[in-house]
Structure 1
């Protein structure tokens, strides 16, 4: 009897790490062009600004594809859908690797982005179904581990490797990773059924569920504030005399990874306090950026604290969405959350660009401060249905 109980308490690490690798693959596929713009520009015969659109169309695919595809495939077995998304990465990253036609490469990137949108809409739900209720938050944290790892190590390593093997071979390596991941998923991931054909769950009914709109607002405000700072981190740090951007991002990334482990330990019991604490900490980050322009120690503290805040954000927000709805509505709710997240990335880039041109980098922290105060207010008020207290 004790043996059975202990087995039920174990995390299926091999399967959860397969989900983490899927997230790593999705994010790495998105951000790789950012470190390869000169090579992509030369190889495809376009300007660097046009080469940058390879990231833009990927993001567009993620935004427009998640909700309709998750909804249309809600009756499918979950493993079949996940395998389809990984096969999509394999096919379209391979096309990117061999294509010499810019338009074809753009189309390939668009469809890869659609697959990423589906991944972000189902990873959390998949991880939650693999474990007992008291381990769900920890499982989600492991499944989300691919995000900080891709940001911290994936992009720098990819950029470094491209100088030896070229950008086309690099995308070929990413396709090879996808091929290995397909076997990993078949070997270690259990399958779960989709919804019944008779299910009446719709996108609109999920959106109207008490608490969901509050959470989506917090996602939008929090991630817009984050991306105003992160998208333009180079000019932001240069304005306060920091020129070693790679070192700063490494510190940020390590803090994010450590945070993911810590959040995983606490999230099942302290979801609401962790969300509120993270927002308070991020508000403090904006104040440190605003008032520490001549104090290097303050900037380093801000970077480390910011990394801690972002590392656990995906796990916290995705878990909050999943717990706000019925089990059969989880995947649709998560697709709404991932779409809002990706929309916030676009908003952060657009708003940050306007602020940079009109008001300068010093305005970033104060706009972020206002957004986070709004997010804090909504999260605080959403005590009953959104960011619920556990008693």
Structure 2
């Protein structure tokens, strides 16, 4: 294993923003089927359930790519690897736009998953090579703000473009965004020769580092708690908050804005205290969830609680990506891969758990149990999860 390399003297902010654009493009493409499922299924002659597998195969491919990218690309310049993932985004979107059948559509979504998981797993590690150590939290928060912006923009924009010009044209637009991203990255990303010696066994070695496995367990609990809630946000807003369809659309949009603000705020909070950021975000989400379920807060009170939840979750991806790179700075890409796998598996587990709880007792049960899980995860993180300080990379 090689020593961690010296940190850069100055910050390459243009390169950081090119990575944020890359994350935005990849997540936008991932989310598009959610708003285009009905016309896609109708034109391809399949059920919406079958067309919905376009989301599933992307998530599975992202998990595998997150695990394998560091080891399979260990001898390749990181700039070329990142540019390659952006090319996969373009190719996937173009071929989905002309897909003649469901099989071709799903295969191209697998390509997108490979790009998404690989890009995400490398993002925090690459940020360490673009800015000085003290600025890494801010850089990572900017990069991951691409997730929040995609959450806000992708579904309503996809739905609008789909109605205006058809679902295939929407994927062509995603390919166009990929081309813009590729050009931006070509001009801004510096050469980054590979430095670590990651192999498949490295993943197991990283997981066995003192405190790393426990931290991943805490991260899983936070994400499972959130995605059990988020899967049922619409029935919660309709049945508990009592919003109509127009109010629902507006509130989901504002939830996304709060999420974006939380992502940027976390970059600042991380410079003060990593442990505080890791523990505070699930604590706030847990309080919001329990209050929605158990406190008669009135419509304005419920809206404030939902916005608090969105604000808090905005900091989660940023905080855990920073935690992983600080815990194992010498194998930051492998650590990032494990974070991606944890998040993707937690999305599936959270949605499944939320479904079971919803069947047992409806929205109130989902929010009550998830709130307890989130508060328990906050306590575990505050008491047991290691939170190393910044270290200069010498």
**TM-score > 0.5 by shorter chain:** yes
Could you say which residue in structure 2 is the equivalent of 1:3? Answer: none
After superposition, the Cα gap between the structure-2 partners of 1:198 and 1:155, relative to the gap in structure 1 and judged at 3 Å, is closer
Unpaired runs of 5+ in structure 1?
A: 1-6
Could you say which residue in structure 2 is the equivalent of 1:170? Answer: 170
Query: What is the CA distance between 1:136 and its match in structure 2?
Result: 0.8
Tell me if structure 2 keeps the 8 A contact 1:128–1:137: no
Query: What is the CA distance between 1:14 and its match in structure 2?
Result: 1.6
Q: In the TM superposition, what are the counterparts of 1:215-294 in structure 2 within 5 Å?
A: 215-240=215-240, 241-243=242-244, 244-292=247-295
Query: What is the CA distance between 1:247 and its match in structure 2?
Result: 1.0
Could you say which residue in structure 2 is the equivalent of 1:345? Answer: 347
After superposition, the Cα gap between the structure-2 partners of 1:261 and 1:200, relative to the gap in structure 1 and judged at 3 Å, is closer
Tell me if structure 2 keeps the 8 A contact 1:379–1:387: no
Tell me if structure 2 keeps the 8 A contact 1:75–1:194: yes
Q: 2:330 aligns with which of 328, 331, 336?
A: 328
Query: What is the CA distance between 1:295 and its match in structure 2?
Result: 1.8
Deviations 1:79-103 (A, max 9, x none): 1111111111111111110012111
SS at match of 2:314: helix
> 369-378 or 201-210, which moves further after superposition?
369-378
Could you say which residue in structure 2 is the equivalent of 1:36? Answer: 36
Query: What is the CA distance between 1:375 and its match in structure 2?
Result: 1.3
Q: In the TM superposition, what are the counterparts of 1:125-136 in structure 2 within 5 Å?
A: 125-136=125-136
RMSD: 2.0
Query: What is the CA distance between 1:381 and its match in structure 2?
Result: 2.5
After superposition, the Cα gap between the structure-2 partners of 1:293 and 1:53, relative to the gap in structure 1 and judged at 3 Å, is farther
Tell me if structure 2 keeps the 8 A contact 1:256–1:309: yes
> 155-164 or 15-24, which moves further after superposition?
155-164
User: What CA distance in whole angstroms lies between the structure 2 residues aligned with 1:298 and 1:117?
Assistant: 37
Could you say which residue in structure 2 is the equivalent of 1:111? Answer: 111
Q: In the TM superposition, what are the counterparts of 1:310-325 in structure 2 within 5 Å?
A: 310-325=313-328
Query: What is the CA distance between 1:261 and its match in structure 2?
Result: 2.1
Query: What is the CA distance between 1:113 and its match in structure 2?
Result: 0.9
Tell me if structure 2 keeps the 8 A contact 1:215–1:387: no
Structure 2 residue 375 is the aligned partner of structure 1 residue 377: no
Tell me if structure 1 keeps the 8 A contact 2:206–2:334: yes
Q: How does the TM-score come out when normalised to structure 2?
A: 0.92
SS at match of 2:46: coil
Tell me if structure 2 keeps the 8 A contact 1:79–1:191: yes
User: What CA distance in whole angstroms lies between the structure 2 residues aligned with 1:381 and 1:293?
Assistant: 32
